[in-house]
Structure 1
Amino acid sequence: MKFITILFIPIKALMASLFQRFLTVFGRSLRAKKTPNAPPKPIINKVATTTVSIPDVAVADEIIDTSSLFYDLLFNNKYVVTEASAGLNPLEKSILLKVEAGVGRPESIALNVVRLPEVLHKVSALIDRGDYTAEQLAALITQDPVLAADVIKLVNSAGYQLGSLEVTSLQAAVVRLGGLQIKSIVLTIVMQNITEIKPIYFKLFGQHLWQHSLTTALWAKKLAKSRGEDPDLAYFLGLIHDVGKIALFKLIVDEMNISDPQFRPSSKLFRQMMTKHSLRLSALIAQAWLLPGPVVKALYEQSESSAVLQHTGPGKLLVQANLYSEIHLLLEQGYISQLQATEFCRDNQLDIQACIAGV
């Protein structure tokens, strides 16, 4: 009897399992009969949601604010989303008012904050006059020993490809490159020194701004050559077009050191000042530097970029060179996608391939 009971238990379990399976199959059959036209679940929907890159397509239809993104790059705000909504604290407001007052004195800024070395004026005047010798030009540059050393160093860099023979004197450099090329080299070194900013608060600000200025200068020179305009003037404009940003950054840092050296300001303070004043301040500084009229005029025009694009000349050229440089730098640093860069270039009538490839 005990044996029969033990045998009966697994048989009972087996019968229950078979009965449960019968109900499952029978129930499924009944449901299928009730909804004969019910479509199968689209498996592809699940795949699509995981493989289709919707954000890229959506963003491409938006208008890209290159100026705002460029400030994000300068202040390393790629992943910062909360700071922009915060207001300035009392100390930052106080700093802002002091810097605002300083902006009204561009002559003082040009003399004390972003001073242009006198040797640059002398070199430009001598070369523009035309009646000079290599010895005279070399002697003039040598009046600034640091500048002279930097010129020789740059002349021997890979960018100038003068062959295996090293240039050891300024006079030899003038003979091999010519006065106009030496003038561009001197200007590049001077502006790089002005743009050099200690890595305080935003350590990549100066580095990115110099990279952008140099690339804008190269773009401006390239565009000028293709349009029969003055490439040296264009190069000069590209190098100095953001000098207003440099001046404002230094002014804010100086005021911050006076008020509270331990306080770390938000990027909003810098952005607010630069958005409002930097472009016009660049022109005012150029005017205080006593630069030629076409230079000052083009710098004023860059603050009215939407209008200047309808015309020709250095102003339009500068605006377009600036856009080429910004787009490529933003793409290179991962702030925009290639699709966004393509759409922006198309909308602004820029060469798409050139935008992506760079100068």
Structure 2
Amino acid sequence: MTKDIAAAASMRLPNAVPAGASAPLRTLPPILTVVVPTYNERQNLRELVNRLHVALDGVNWEMVFVDDDSPDGTSALAKSLSRRDSRIRCLRRVGRRGLSGACIEGILSSAAPYVAVIDGDLQHDETLLPKMLTELREDRCEIVVGSRFVEGGAADAGFNATRQVISKLGRRFAQAVLRTAVKDTMSGFFMLRREVVEDAAPQLCPEGFKILADILASSPETTRVKELGYEFRQRHAGVSKFDAKVALDFLGLIVSKLTRGVVPVSFVSFLLVGGVGVVLHLAALKVALLAGLTFFAAQTLATLVAMACNFVVNNLTTYRNARLRGWAWLRGLAMFCGICSLSALANIGVATWLFEHDQTWWAAGLAGIVMGATWNYAVSARLVWRK
């Protein structure tokens, strides 16, 4: 620590104090920035701050709450705490939501040589932070992961049975696809040298919730990573943010990394929702035909049902950050159906043209589907959800 404090002191600007003015306070810049992404975590802030005061005693640290405009007043409380403790800062994000984006902005706002990310729900063990910092300062690695799945780690207390199964499958999938030996790729508790994120920032995806997996996939293979075990605790207060959107974003992140960013995270979610729409379309078509409707009428009804379903689910998941409500919801539904209707014409046109030239029905049909899906995604993202 002495070496770090001395280095920080050498970076201070000269104190050029005008005549008659009082000298500014001589303060050292922080060695460690703790980034806490939040959404509706007001009930946990005071306790988290108190625990960090104890855990990081003797360390020159700061805390940055990055709040996604929580309706429960999380950012207001964070700013109130900062008025009493200058080590606490708050970034309030309006019109943007997502843990990954919040972490990226918080890390890039820091000037400290080391940055930690920890959740605001108190499930992560803050007493591990000093040990993580030691690993980095003694140059044993560039990234330290708080791991639930190495010696000394456990997740039973913080996960129910369903979450344990989902987490296990997600970890194994990420390890295989990203080709990493890190056992807890889904961890939201880690510390790293700030330049790791500075260097990887252009490749990082602000969408989604699994920022560690993104950092690992975007960093050089020579990046040294160490895992330290900790016991994952039960949430202190509030409600878990884990839902279908988290799972969709994780799949989208994997595909995006495999394609080197060519396929956006949101496009994968859009396609998966479209797949649900196809199943619903066929089900509605069958029911309508059994009810005695003509094929034309049944197909028309099934198409409208599938379009409406796709709009509703995309509004709740893919574009949750820009979710439409009220009259905007009705206007968006009408616009989405219009866009999908135009894409249907493009789908038929492209597929027919290819079939006439190649005679391979499945290739022509697939090309039409890809054309229609790409059109729906690109145009609806811009016009319906204004993304």
TM-score by length of 1: 0.23
The one of the two structures with greater contact order (alpha-carbon pairs below 8 A, sep at least 6) is 1
Q: Which one has a larger percent strand, Structure 1 or Structure 2?
A: 2
Q: Bigger radius of gyration, 1 or 2?
A: 1
Normalized per residue, which structure has more helix? 1
